Structure 1
Amino acid sequence: MHDHRRLGRELSLFDTDPLIGAGLPYWLPAGAAVRHALEEYIREAERRAGYRHVYSPALAKRELYEVSGHWSHYSDDMFPPMDLGGEQFVLRPSLCPHHALIYRRRAHSYRELPLRIAELGGMYRSELSGVLGGLTRVRAIQLNDAHIFCTLDQVADEARAALAMIGRACAALGIVPVRYRLSLAGPGGKYVGGADSWRRAAALLTDALDASGLAYEAQEGEAAFYGPKIDVQVADAAGRESTLSTVQVDFHQPEQFGLEYVGADGGKHRPVMVHRSIVGSVERAVAHLVEQHGGAFPGWLAPVQLVLLPLTEDEVPYAAALLERCLGRGLRAEIAHPAQGTLGARVRAARLAPYQGVIGPREAAAGDLALRLRDGRRPGPLPAAAAVERIAALVRAHSAELWDDQGREG
């Protein structure tokens, strides 16, 4: 595996500047393209799974986090309050309190549940400068977060569905988790809620893991302050583990915020809050993808998916027309012009692109494209329109394969 901090800068994915500050990387065009593709994949997967997307502010009154419990259990990792007009505001360390308020804004019936709310939103951690590095430990985080408000008997099914979404995302991204961890409360930890609610939550997550057929390890002391969780663990270039995805069961915040729904009996009941994140933070996910693939991302995720290589200036007009077709089909494509060097030099410069299309006089005259795949295969001269459609189909399918000889979408 590769070190994402070095490779991320070599590939112009991201960088930092002292005037912005440590732990606050900015994304360059190539990195922004990867991030955008990842975010769009997540949003579409959530939409298909019945999630409703929201936006919420990146800061709120300190009082919100006092109610949620974050202030008493997490304030050491939060930025200091800002005094504004006699009130204190803080940058949020988590999205769940905002989503609890979104649920609380109106009455709900059991017929609406489960209600799935999702957001790709910013949150902030006051990390010490000594632990910051690359994209894995940052102070400004873009989190793929969602909260499912459901009845008690829906929890295990929702947790199992979240694990299935995580599995599909890992397959599309080419990520292999090193283990699944059932993170439980440990002795001496600062937790909220009674022992009974913790036992129920752990049992529900265990049921979801067992029903999913996933091997897992129980580990004390790794739970959130409000409940146990399933952590999907990955390893970096040095073999250090980190959490990519999570599924959590929370009885505490629905109680704190007075969340309710009207049951079939006409009475008021307390929903359960299932927290889940498919890829965790965008920053950590991209860091792991860089290290996992060495910059050779799956085709649908690559910053540039197809590089067109005209042999001479005579083929540039044909390449330009083909580029317009590629852009129209949603592909990230560009032309490596003859003025940029010999064909061999341009091929080497585009070595991480999943697809290279060489255009000589014969291809330009016939309306063809001589494809080269990143893995060394050469499907041979193909009608350019058919080649573009085949690539676009594989990209739409988020296929881990670069080519399918049968023409299927992956």
Structure 2
Amino acid sequence: MNTAHDHRRLGRELGLFDTDPLIGAGLPYWLPDGAVVRHALEEYVREAERAAGYRHVYSPVLGKRELYELSGHWSHYSDDMFPPMRLGAEEVVLRPGLCPHHALIYRSRSRSYRELPLRIAELGGMYRSEPSGALGGLTRVRAIQLNDAHVFCTLEQAAGEARAALDLIRRAYADLGIRAARYRLSLPGGNGGSGADRGGKYVADPELWRRATALLREVLDGSGLPYEAAEGEAAFYGPKIDVQITDPAGREATLSTVQIDFHQPERFGLHYVGADGAKHRPVMVHRSVVGSVERAVAHLVEEHGGAFPAWLAPVQLVVLPVAGAQADRAEEVVRQARARGLRAELAGPEQGSLAARIRAARLVPYQAVLGRREAGGGLVAVRLRDGRRPGAVPVAELLRRIGERVAARGTGLWDTGPVPGGRGA
């Protein structure tokens, strides 16, 4: 990747996000084009999760201090949490993660083994008190929109659910046009990864760590993916598979995770009624397909240099009338495109010469040039962002093709088949 693709510079140049000292460090706001990218990414994740059997929920970004004492966050993670706020006799806290709320959703009613695996997903806010020196652009922020999910399952189902989550992550990376730098098995530090560290960072339960680590090793070994074990990188409650990415400067960060947790089901007293009529403890599989939306968009900006896959692009089609005489026809093409759900804009002659307008729209996946001949024949001359020129195409055919490519997601712009009624495909 080109170092010129640093998302902190390019994201502002492209009008995706910005910051203001009155809002505060680590609290960026999204501009209209950035909001489009974020929305498209969130909808992609929701659709992928629904297809994989997840049910979506909403939960509050606040919780009583007692909730995080019960989950273990207060004793193991409070240094990364914002201080509690007093409300009368109670203290409430901005949540550092979504898992305690999802555990409460699970235990809100009795559960049978017939319901398992129960897959609960949410795109929800969480907050972490990051030191100011660690903040940067969208990669390290204090207000985080997390693509999170928790699968409550039997012990026998746990490895399969973790493997399915890893497959979901790999498919998403292919559709997003990004790649993993490496896969990491993140273990606790101290005493050979048993979790018995002296600093209190991890839950002190060697058997818990052994069982969870064995399951994740089984998943990784069965996937055929090369991976490296790293001590000191686990969550406080269990080991995890981290999918690592790198930025243009070679700095590494975690984007996606799969975790196996025996700790919180125990802490929250979760159970299900088995086929034998007795109560059993479920396993909790934490997983995030794209991690935080902020870090995911930052990486997409850097990976693609702002030239997003068509389904993610803030503007998918720009219509360029050669002269004012074609402006009305060009506006009609834009209206038709928008009616099909495409993000289309008009770049008319008042914005400069045709060459200048084409250069200004260089990151837009599809350009439709409309001259006198095209306007008279119901055609547009198509230019693709990658430099290809399929030629003169009927407007309806162009919009159909773009719609199909957008609906299919992925990174391709144009298939190689002939264009019915067109020339030069």
Return the alpha-carbon distance in structure 2 between the equivalents of residues 92 and 314 of structure 1: 57
1:172 partnered with 2:172: no
Return the alpha-carbon distance in structure 2 between the equivalents of residues 325 and 206 of structure 1: 52
Q: Which residue of the other structure, out of 145, 161, 180, is the alignment partner of 1:158? A: 161
Q: Tell me the residue number matched to 1:192.
A: 203
Report the alpha carbon displacement of residue 193 of structure 1 after superposing the two structures with TM.
Answer: 4.7
Return the alpha-carbon distance in structure 2 between the equivalents of residues 406 and 246 of structure 1: 39
Report the alpha carbon displacement of residue 407 of structure 1 after superposing the two structures with TM.
Answer: 7.4
Return the alpha-carbon distance in structure 2 between the equivalents of residues 211 and 34 of structure 1: 34
Q: Tell me the residue number matched to 1:220.
A: 231
Return the alpha-carbon distance in structure 1 between the equivalents of residues 265 and 207 of structure 2: 16
The total of aligned residue pairs comes to 408
Report the alpha carbon displacement of residue 406 of structure 1 after superposing the two structures with TM.
Answer: 2.7
Q: Which residue of the other structure, out of 88, 92, 111, is the alignment partner of 2:91? A: 88
1:320 partnered with 2:331: yes
Q: Tell me the residue number matched to 1:297.
A: 308
TM-score by length of 1: 0.98
Return the alpha-carbon distance in structure 1 between the equivalents of residues 343 and 93 of structure 2: 39
Return the alpha-carbon distance in structure 1 between the equivalents of residues 133 and 229 of structure 2: 30
Return the alpha-carbon distance in structure 2 between the equivalents of residues 407 and 32 of structure 1: 35
Name the stretch that deviates more: 208-217 or 46-55: 208-217
1:47 partnered with 2:50: yes
Once the two structures are superposed, residues 208-261 of structure 1 have per-residue CA deviations (whole angstroms, 9 ceiling, x without a partner) of: 112222111111111000000000000011101000100000000000000010
Return the alpha-carbon distance in structure 1 between the equivalents of residues 406 and 336 of structure 2: 15
- What amino acid is the match of 2:42? E
Q: Tell me the residue number matched to 2:222.
A: 211
Once the two structures are superposed, residues 17-58 of structure 1 have per-residue CA deviations (whole angstroms, 9 ceiling, x without a partner) of: 011011000000110111011000000000000000000001
Return the alpha-carbon distance in structure 2 between the equivalents of residues 315 and 43 of structure 1: 40
Q: Tell me the residue number matched to 1:75.
A: 78
Return the alpha-carbon distance in structure 2 between the equivalents of residues 12 and 322 of structure 1: 25
Q: Secondary structure at the match of 2:186?
A: strand
1:307 partnered with 2:310: no
1:34 partnered with 2:37: yes
Q: Which residue of the other structure, out of 120, 124, 147, is the alignment partner of 1:121? A: 124
TM-score by length of 2: 0.95
**Aligned counterparts, 1:259-274, within 5 A:** 259-274=270-285
Return the alpha-carbon distance in structure 2 between the equivalents of residues 177 and 357 of structure 1: 35
Q: Tell me the residue number matched to 2:18.
A: 15
| Contact 2:98 2:126 (C-alpha < 8 Å) held by counterparts | yes
- What amino acid is the match of 1:246? T
Runs of 5+ consecutive residues of structure 2 not aligned to the other structure: 191-196, 420-425
Q: Secondary structure at the match of 1:283?
A: helix
Return the alpha-carbon distance in structure 1 between the equivalents of residues 241 and 83 of structure 2: 30
| Contact 2:177 2:410 (C-alpha < 8 Å) held by counterparts | no
1:398 partnered with 2:401: no
Q: Tell me the residue number matched to 1:234.
A: 245
RMSD: 1.1
Q: Secondary structure at the match of 1:249?
A: strand
Q: Tell me the residue number matched to 1:354.
A: 365
Q: Secondary structure at the match of 2:382?
A: strand
Report the alpha carbon displacement of residue 325 of structure 1 after superposing the two structures with TM.
Answer: 1.5
1:280 partnered with 2:280: no
Return the alpha-carbon distance in structure 1 between the equivalents of residues 330 and 265 of structure 2: 58
1:376 partnered with 2:387: yes
Q: Tell me the residue number matched to 1:134.
A: 137
Runs of 4+ displaced beyond 3 Å: none
- What amino acid is the match of 1:334? E
**Aligned counterparts, 1:242-257, within 5 A:** 242-257=253-268
1:367 partnered with 2:378: yes
- Distance change >3 Å, CA 227–CA 109, structure 1 → 2: same
| Contact 2:38 2:293 (C-alpha < 8 Å) held by counterparts | yes
Q: Secondary structure at the match of 2:22?
A: coil
- What amino acid is the match of 1:134? G
Q: Which residue of the other structure, out of 98, 101, 108, is the alignment partner of 1:98? A: 101
